[in-house]
Structure 1
């Protein structure tokens, strides 16, 4: 009996080892296929696109009570999707979650005043830019002590989570400002009007949409903000197709028409030339 038990153990061990090996082989066979599938996905593969845009930036991206999105970014995204032969569905893309939305596959593209930066390029890729804006400053209309960005010294500056605009003031130009955190630029402008901050500094197209009675743009730009199209890293074919569509948008006069439609009354000097692209490699 003892001999039989001892003889059975190696057989059971061999059977267990065989099952483990079979599972390992199955996993090994599946993993390369899954990795290959992920690497091969592109915005060009499907019939429709989910596109992230801003829900609360007048002139650029706003969601109305019915849930419809309108604005310059929305119109540009619609044009690009059409050139790619796709339908577009829009969702809100707050500044703080744009990279995560792309990386997690919740959106295919992001058109949301998404400035191209080296840090962001470590996480996602960019088509475009589709426009080059310039950072400026918004203050209360009665403010006479701010004529350029350096006059913000010692003042309260709104800091939007996920945005880099405040860095260009406090870190790049070493201007000692007091940062006041906010979730969005719409909240920043509200805080400006209610005297909780002294200034809002970001892209001039954003400020143009918010500039209303009681506020004014300083009109002293101090940076170039290249609005890119956020796209999953590695989708080179999709990126190149986006760039081709943007080029056509400028060549056929659509870019000029859309910029005038949304910003002609702002007084900003609009640029109608095709921007220099970032490159999709």
Structure 2
């Protein structure tokens, strides 16, 4: 049996031999000092990703990332020594010491953070999009359900696309074959990285083709250092350079120079890193702990131990219990959901008040038996009650809206279109309920006639049907998403598409709608009690 002390000695000898065989991989306590001492930094870049990294006519690397690599070296006060890497070997070249840093379209993921040191802030981001022919009418990912979509084998997002959007993926061995298939009409489009698609669309070969959807599964890109550099001065210096790129517009200028379509990520981060607090200091500045503020970091990769407040609560729910309630820990999702809720409340209150106004006005006008107007209103009430509200919204928004654009050059606002149609649809039902109550009251009170003086009595008599009408129209406001109003259902759907947290968001949506409708019922009951308590209120027999 081998004694423990002999075993320890053997292991120490093996580790020593490994250290001799791979001296470059040994941890450098001061990599920034070493780089400055030798006067150059080895940077891994790609040469197979057009516009970001490609070989120029002279056979040398060129592209947006190559420009950034040279600018980084200049700001560190050294020369850039470019080393071409690939997606397959870029992390290996980093860890074996061949390069000091990589800037090579590297997605910032939780798994990669365990292997190497990712630089914050992220310098770019990409997502999945669809390249479609010029005559395609696709506008939303939901329209792809069950359709054939060309994709490239091995892409990290293939499974997520199939699961989230229920597309029928047609997998091809490489990008060339996938593009040939979509050109031949075998698929409605090619799903791939939006930055790569943008590069293709900039070539004459794909003139007229489009990328019509909002990019999904967006993943930020990061510069990377070896794992051993996690707490080094080099990491801090590189992070400061990337922060400066965002602040001074270097990234936006590099994007324009290479004719890359403007990235929403760069536009938002440029604004964020130039934002100042009430004292005029940058919001995104290092704290006492040396880290950037939480709101300036990649929220998708923060842990509950790094944050406080609502963010901490949301991340604890996610990490410990698997409840991905992103509207709690992510400020963007929280803002989107909150704005959707606000629009829904406006639609609910607006459509109920509009329905009451339209219904009362129509009922009183009909009761006055005005020649021509009364039969016209009768016909309108009948048509509005018998026509689906969604169809009315389509007629106003797409039909009348298209005519106003051609005639006067302005489009119908979708929010106003929904409010108008729901108010008229429910208003027609309210008018009918009031007229029926007036008929019953007239049979009981010979002198009764619907008007301003007797309206309260008629409303009291028909309060049951009217309350039901108003509650139902409050539920129907979800139809607004059909004409691109970003209300509650629409905002929740967008979050689910981005995050994949379908079960959690659906339960939250159901609970939120339950509270909205419950609040609507309570509000109507309180309004009825207030009317009943008014002095001199007549106590009529209900219809």
Taking structure 2 as the reference length, the TM-score comes to 0.41
Counterpart contact for 1:102–1:109, Cα < 8 Å: yes
**Who is 2:496 aligned against?**
none
1:42 and 1:181 map into 2 onto residues whose CA distance is 46
The answer as to 2:242 corresponding to 1:246 is yes
The answer as to 2:203 corresponding to 1:229 is no
2:54 and 2:251 map into 1 onto residues whose CA distance is 19
2:127 and 2:65 map into 1 onto residues whose CA distance is 16
**Who is 1:157 aligned against?**
150
User: Closer, same or farther in 2 for the Cα pair 1:181/1:255, shift >3 Å?
Assistant: same
1:188 and 1:42 map into 2 onto residues whose CA distance is 47
1:58 aligns with one of 50, 54, 70: 50
User: Closer, same or farther in 2 for the Cα pair 1:101/1:198, shift >3 Å?
Assistant: farther
Counterpart contact for 1:158–1:201, Cα < 8 Å: yes
Shift in Å, 1:226: 0.7
Residues 117-165 of structure 1 deviation map (CA, whole Å, 9 limit, x = unaligned): 1122222221131123443222233333x3333444442332254x423
SS at match of 1:216: coil
**Who is 1:89 aligned against?**
81
Counterpart contact for 1:49–1:86, Cα < 8 Å: yes
2:196 aligns with one of 201, 206, 226: 206
For CA contacts below 8 A with separation 6 or more, give which structure has more relative contact order.
1
The answer as to 2:134 corresponding to 1:141 is yes
2:125 aligns with one of 121, 132, 140: 132
Shift in Å, 1:41: 6.0
User: Closer, same or farther in 2 for the Cα pair 1:182/1:31, shift >3 Å?
Assistant: same
Q: Which has the higher strand share?
A: 1
**Who is 1:107 aligned against?**
99
User: Closer, same or farther in 2 for the Cα pair 1:215/1:48, shift >3 Å?
Assistant: same
Shift in Å, 1:86: 2.8
Shift in Å, 1:98: 2.9
Q: What RMSD in Å do the two structures reach over aligned CA positions?
A: 3.7
**Who is 1:215 aligned against?**
209
1:174 and 1:151 map into 2 onto residues whose CA distance is 9
Residues 70-105 of structure 1 deviation map (CA, whole Å, 9 limit, x = unaligned): 222221222112222232233333323333332333
**Who is 1:27 aligned against?**
13
1:267 and 1:80 map into 2 onto residues whose CA distance is 22
**Who is 2:161 aligned against?**
169
2:110 aligns with one of 105, 118, 137: 118
Counterpart contact for 1:135–1:165, Cα < 8 Å: yes
- Segments of 5+ residues of structure 2 without an aligned counterpart are 1-5, 274-283, 285-295, 307-543
Alignment of 1:249-264 (within 5 A): 249-263=245-259
1:197 and 1:93 map into 2 onto residues whose CA distance is 32
Counterpart contact for 1:57–1:210, Cα < 8 Å: no
2:27 and 2:213 map into 1 onto residues whose CA distance is 45
Aligned length: 256
User: Closer, same or farther in 2 for the Cα pair 1:198/1:103, shift >3 Å?
Assistant: farther
2:166 and 2:89 map into 1 onto residues whose CA distance is 27
SS at match of 1:207: helix
Taking structure 1 as the reference length, the TM-score comes to 0.72
The answer as to 2:61 corresponding to 1:69 is yes
SS at match of 1:39: coil
1:179 and 1:200 map into 2 onto residues whose CA distance is 9
Shift in Å, 1:63: 1.2
- Segments of 5+ residues of structure 1 without an aligned counterpart are 1-19
Residues 3-51 of structure 1 deviation map (CA, whole Å, 9 limit, x = unaligned): xxxxxxxxxxxxxxxxx99x96993894697699712266522332332
1:82 and 1:190 map into 2 onto residues whose CA distance is 42
**Who is 2:332 aligned against?**
none
1:227 and 1:26 map into 2 onto residues whose CA distance is 39
Q: Which has the higher helix share?
A: 2
Shift in Å, 1:244: 0.6
SS at match of 1:49: strand
